[in-house]
């Protein structure tokens, strides 16, 4: 697979799909309900001065031990959260300038998210689960159905379109989740521990799918799994909220 050599800092990649420059994310902890930053509510700096940029056609891994800030950075890069300071752009838009509703619209149109525990709706078929983002985006029933079936065929589940999550294996559920993440043809796909719930064979197939998705998108994988990190074009390693290595 041909990939571009992505830049490692926000300023170095003018065409980055997502770019963060000197990102800081702080949270209040304890303090009996005091205001953020007050003396009785100490703050935790989960991300501390991280700069990263991801371009189209590359897979970038985020690695680090528990508590390193990996999940926090992933949530920022997916537009699920906003930085306390620093600048973060997704598809050229500074997300700090957007309202909560505007950020949700940006995610719907630009970001596909693959959650570790799939987050499929148990009462819906595979086809209906994949179609959920299309429903939110206002697509008609026929278009939703056709798009969902095409995606399920693409991930090898063309014979499982009417099956509900409880009738699917873990690997099949993860493939449904990937199909759902691709439903709106996003520029960015973000996957949190995509192989964490899978055996090695199912994990390999899921990673192949994510690698294929990067042929015309940016893909970010947060993982402890070396199998997942091995498919990445480069890996950003975190410890205590800071970048300690890039490879």
How many beta carbons lie within 10 A of that of residue 247, not counting itself? Answer: 10
Question: How far is 20 from 72, CA to CA, in rounded Å?
Answer: 13
pTM: 0.86
Confidence (pLDDT) at 39: 57
User: Where are the chain's structural domains?
Assistant: 10-28+44-121+172-246
**Average pLDDT, consecutive stretches of 10 residues, N- to C-terminus, the chain (247 residues):** 40 76 90 52 91 95 93 95 97 95 95 92 98 96 97 95 96 95 96 90 91 92 93 96 92
- Phi, psi angles (nearest 5°) of residue 246: -135, 135
Q: What is the pLDDT of residue 36?
A: 52
Residue 224 DSSP code: S
Token pair, residue 244, equals 């300690």
d(CA 223, CA 225): 5
Q: Tokens at residue 73, please?
A: 């950075």
pLDDT at 116: 84
From start to end of 29-154, where are the E strands? Answer: 43-54, 58-63, 85-90, 93-94, 111-114
DSSP 219: E
Domain 10-28+44-121+172-246 part of CATH 3.30.499.10: no
**Nearest alpha carbon to residue 120 among 133, 130, 112:** 130
pLDDT of residue 191: 95
Alpha-carbon distance of 71 to 64, in angstroms, equals 10
Asked if residue 49 lies in contact with residue 23, where contact means CB atoms within 8 angstroms, the answer is yes
Distance CA 159, CA 17 (A): 34
């Amino acid at each position: 697979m041909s990939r571009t050599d992505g830049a490692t800092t926000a300023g170095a990649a003018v065409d980055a799909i997502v770019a963060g420059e000197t990102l800081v994310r702080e949270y209040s902890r304890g303090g009996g309900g005091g205001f953020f930053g007050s003396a009785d509510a100490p703050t935790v700096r989960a991300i501390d001065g991280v700069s990263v940029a991801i371009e189209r056609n590359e897979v970038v891994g985020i690695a680090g031990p528990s508590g390193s800030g990996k999940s926090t950075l992933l949530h920022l890069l997916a537009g699920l959260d906003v930085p306390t300071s620093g600048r973060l752009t997704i598809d050229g838009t500074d997300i700090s300038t957007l309202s909560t509703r505007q950020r949700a619209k940006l995610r719907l149109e630009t970001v596909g998210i693959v959650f570790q525990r799939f987050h499929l709706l148990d009462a819906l078929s595979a086809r209906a689960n994949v179609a959920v983002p299309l429903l939110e985006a206002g697509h008609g029933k026929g278009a939703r159905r056709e798009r969902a079936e095409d995606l399920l065929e693409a991930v090898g589940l063309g014979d499982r379109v009417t099956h509900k999550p409880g009738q699917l294996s873990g690997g099949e559920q993860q493939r449904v989740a990937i199909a759902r993440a691709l439903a709106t043809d996003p520029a960015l796909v973000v996957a949190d521990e995509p192989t964490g719930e899978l055996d090695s064979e199912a994990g390999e197939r899921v990673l192949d799918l994510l690698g294929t998705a990067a042929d015309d998108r940016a893909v970010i994988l947060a993982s402890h799994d070396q199998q997942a990190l091995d498919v990445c074009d480069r890996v950003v390693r975190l410890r205590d909220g800071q970048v300690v290595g890039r490879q």
